[in-house]
Amino acid sequence: MAECGIILAGGFATRLRPLSYTKPKPLFPVLGRPVLDWVVERVAEVAEPVVSARYLSSVIRSYINARWGGRVRLVEEDRPLGDGGAVINVVRSLGLRGPIVVANGDVFTDLSVKAFWEFHKRSGAAVSMALIEVPPEEVGRFGIALIDEAGRIKRFVEKPKEPVGSNLANAGFYIFEPEAVAEFPELNSGEVKIAKHIIPRLMEKFDVYGYVHRGLWFDIGTHVDYLRANFAALERCNTCRPELPGVKIIPPVYIGEEVSVASGSVIGPYVVIGSRSKVGPHVRIRESVVMDGVVIEAGAYLSRSIVGEGVFLGRWTRLVEAVVADGVYVKDEIYVGRGAAVGPNREVEQDLKDGEILP
């Protein structure tokens, strides 16, 4: 097995603002569990997980200590290092000498790291990269690999501006043998990127193989992607708490522990409600993610929206394709419009027009 499984959790998650002002991206929940938990469980199939963190690292540390204890270690970056720099920092800090697995801590996937590891060993590769098919119109968002029949990567283009003859994207999971790790560049004042700096360097010296994963895979980097990840997880799990007297449930729905929903409410389809939330009577929620500890008063309406932890939504509030960050208080009869967003710990006393931002 691998000596270490490095989970990268240091990014600023700028595209997830304002939600990410108080919550690091790896702690965004999918079906009520932080993405980090899903990744830790995958990596633990073949290695001891070590999380590398920078942004809001104290929040990540507190969570790891509470949830995982000594089973997961954390290494903090003293400055932004880039994902490649974070890997180098962990390798140097822990004195690693064996093969390592590297995983992005903000990807929701059902990829089997054990199967990936077995593929890597069968190929005899020094470096392997997990790949995922993406729609042709999205190839410009990712690093794209062209592979031969044996799985060897013939060409790798980071965020191509024109078609390259492939739609196999970098899935953010890697395996590096010690001889490849020995070729990592030294850390300097700049950031080091895996796809931009490390992989091209290693391809000059080693065969790099691509493992094609055909299953769930979502980078939760934007609000839309985050909703899509939860909706896909709902379709796969199709889970719901069945006994809610007087409440109409339209599957798929996930309802966390210690949640109360009052009579006359309609929940679903595609709804996640986090633990310890309270939903009043005659509330309508569809295609939305509601995080832990949210209070939603009577008559509220939510559609394709994301609601952060500890939010209070007053009576007859309306959220349509909106984002409300942690700790917000929305007064009665307020409308938060399409594309509007509210920053953390704010009081909303008047309607927000479509696209309006309340930082």
Q: Read off the pTM.
A: 0.92
In a shared domain, residues 202 and 266: no
Q: Are residues 256 and 198 in the same domain?
A: no
In a domain? residue 351:
yes
Closest CA to 299 of 272, 275, 330: 330
246 Cβ partners below 8 Å, 6+ apart? 262, 263, 264
Report CA Rg, the chain: 22
Over residues 85-113, the pLDDT tens digits come to 999 999 999 999 999 999 999 999 999 99
**Buried residues in 307-333 as b, exposed as e (16+ CB within 10 A):** bbbbbbbbbbbbbbbbbbbbbbbbeee
Residue 230 lies in a domain: no
The total number of structural domains that make up the chain: 2
Do 191 and 247 share a domain, yes or no?
A: no
Residue 51 belongs to a domain? yes
We report the CATH number of the domain holding residue 213 as: 3.90.550.10
Quick one: pLDDT at residue 161?
A: 84
Number of neighbours of residue 228 by Cβ within 10 angstroms:
16
Task: Kindly report, residue by residue over 173-214, the tens digit of the pLDDT.
Answer: 999 999 999 999 888 767 899 988 899 999 999 999 999 999
- Quick one: pLDDT band at residue 239, thresholds 50, 70, 90? low
**Is 137 in the same domain as 260?**
no
Q: In the structure encoding, which two tokens stand for residue 143, read together? A: 């690093």
Tokens for 269, please give them.
Answer: 């389809």
Is 228 contained in some domain? no
| One domain for residues 211 and 246 | no
d(CA 196, CA 200): 7
pLDDT band at 216 (very low <50, low <70, confident <90, very high): very high
Residue 342 lies in a domain: yes
Same domain, yes or no: 211 and 250: no
Give the helix/strand (H/E) hosting 121: helix 113-123
Does one domain contain both 214 and 297? no
Same-domain pairing of 189 and 332: no
Q: Are residues 204 and 67 in the same domain?
A: yes
Domain CATH code at residue 342? 2.160.10.10
190 and 245 housed in the same domain: no
- Same structural domain for residues 117 and 43? yes
Q: Which domain holds residue 130?
A: 4-219
| CA–CA separation, 313 and 300 (whole Å) | 7
- Residue 224 located in a structural domain: no
Distance, CA of 293 to CA of 186 (rounded, Å):
45
Q: Taking the CB of residue 97, how many other CB atoms lie within 10 A of it?
A: 12
pLDDT digits (tens, 9 = 90+) for 141-157: 898 999 998 889 999 98
Distances (CA, A) of 137 to 134, 142, 165, 167, 226: 8, 11, 12, 9, 19
Tell me the average pLDDT of the chain.
Answer: 93
